[in-house]
Amino acid sequence: MTAPVKPTPETLPGSGLCGACKHRRIITSAKGSKFLMCKYHSVDARYSKYPALPMWQCAAFEGESTNSTNLHE
Ligand code: SF4
């Protein structure tokens, strides 16, 4: 018996830090284009809903693991 495959969160190539952040959400348009939305915008409006990519520094970044890392505290 094989172990269940854990789904990999969808990301967007070339998105930098946002691509590994748990606050990201990938939006696919009707034409198939993909956009990265920052869900943290709903918590703090200083963060753009659609950040300019690639993002290399972000104080709100949190990694996917349970041991989240905020790189810029
Ligand atoms: S919190 Fe920062 S790193 Fe995370 S998705 Fe939003 S803009 Fe990107």
Is there an atom of ligand 1 within 6 Å of 38 CB?
yes
The answer to whether residue 17 sits within a structural domain is yes
In a domain, 49, yes or no: yes
In a domain, 6, yes or no: no
Q: Evaluate whether residue 28 is within a structural domain.
A: yes
Tokens for 18? 């946002």
User: Could you give the CA distance from residue 62 to residue 22 in angstroms, rounded to a whole number?
Assistant: 6
pLDDT in tens, 37-51: 999 999 999 999 999
- What's the pLDDT score for residue 71? 47
The confidence band for 11, taking pLDDT boundaries of 50, 70 and 90, is: confident
Pocket test for ligand 1, best of 10, 11, 24, 68 (most atoms within 8 A of CB): 24
Task: Report how many domains make up the chain.
Answer: 1
Residue 67 is assigned to a structural domain of this protein: no
Alpha carbons within 13 angstroms on the beta-carbon side of residue 35 total: 13
Distance, in Å, from the CA atom of 45 to the CA atom of 28, rounded to the nearest integer, reads 23
Query: Does residue 27 form part of some domain?
Result: yes
pLDDT of residue 31 exceeding 90: yes
**Residue 53: band (very low, low, confident or very high) from pLDDT cuts 50, 70, 90:** very high
pTM for the model: 0.77
Please state the rounded mean pLDDT for residues 15-29.
95
CA within 13 Å, CB half, 67: 0
